[in-house]
Each structure stands twice: as structure tokens, then as C-alpha cells.
Amino acid sequence: MSGRWWLVAVLVAAVLGAGLVGTLSAESVLVVEDIETGEQYHSEPVENGSTVALEYTHSVEKSRVYDAYRVDGETLVNTRMEFESYGWGLPARVNVTTVNGTFVYAPDEPIAELESLSVSPGRIADHTLIIDGTRHDLVALTDARDVRIHIEHRSLIERIL
């Protein structure tokens, strides 16, 4: 084999090897992107079982609401809701417990399994995104633009690019 063919063979093997490694080492990433433009405001690696939560002030009740989700593959499974008073959009006909004056809805079965969350971060509501305990000011992050929060699987090559 001449030097030229040997070089071509090595390059082909390197490209195929990089492609194989890139597809094998995919990771799950939580993505916050603009609903209209698709611009990504935030992305962060997550694992199955990671907790993703939204915390905000209810627009009518002016009280804290906390919605927790568990990452399950490419879905977000709503597992818990905490709220300080009943109001529009909050569960009124479910069994809740009271913990230190806060209503907690944590059913045995998941509340919902969602491919994405659509959120309109509000300056008055002060939406906060919490990923495995780390807090992100969703209003500042997005300049209060409507966003879609979802899970993507990215290969090593996609992460590098």
C-alpha cells in the first residue's frame, strides 16, 4: 500500500471512529430555548432522575408555587407541587398534605409526563428554574421571553460544536 492510500485509510478510520464515539457517548441536556426563534438561553447536562423545578409567585394569589419534575429519558415527569393558597391553575380537587403551612401535592403516580414545558417568565412572578438544586433566574436568563424547556440527547460531537 502506498503512502497516499495509507494516509486515506487512516483518515477514514479516524472519521469513522470519531463518529462512533460521538454517537455512543450521548448525554441528556436540559435546554431552555425561545419559543419563537429557537435561540438557546441555557443548556445543562442532566441525568435520568434529575430534578427540574419551577418556582414562582402566583399572579392572583401572590403566593409561592413550586412545581417539581423528574427527568425520565426525554420527558419531564411532574412529581410534586407545593403552593401556599388555592387559586387558578392550582389543584383544587386532589388530596394534599400540609407541611409548615404549605399545601403539598405529591401523588404516588406522576401528575403528568411532558415532552416540554412552555413558560412565560414574568418579572412580577419572578420565575426561577431549579436544576438539581442549582437556581437560575429565568426572567434574567430569557429577558422575560416565552420559552420552551425540554430534554435533548446530544452526542460528543454535538457538544463540541
Q: What is the DSSP letter of 93?
A: S
- The confidence score (pLDDT) of residue 159 equals 54
Outline where DSSP puts E strands in 14-74: 27-34, 40-46, 51-57, 64-72
pLDDT of res. 84: 86
Confidence (pLDDT) at 124: 92
Domain parsing of the chain, residue ranges: 28-154
Fill in the DSSP letter of residue 137. Answer: E
Report which of 34, 90, 79, 16 is spatially closest to residue 52, judged by C-alpha positions: 79
Distance between CA atoms of 139 and 101, rounded to whole angstroms?
Answer: 27
Whole-number Å distance between alpha carbons of 114 and 69: 9
Q: Which residues of the chain have pLDDT under 50?
A: 20, 22-23
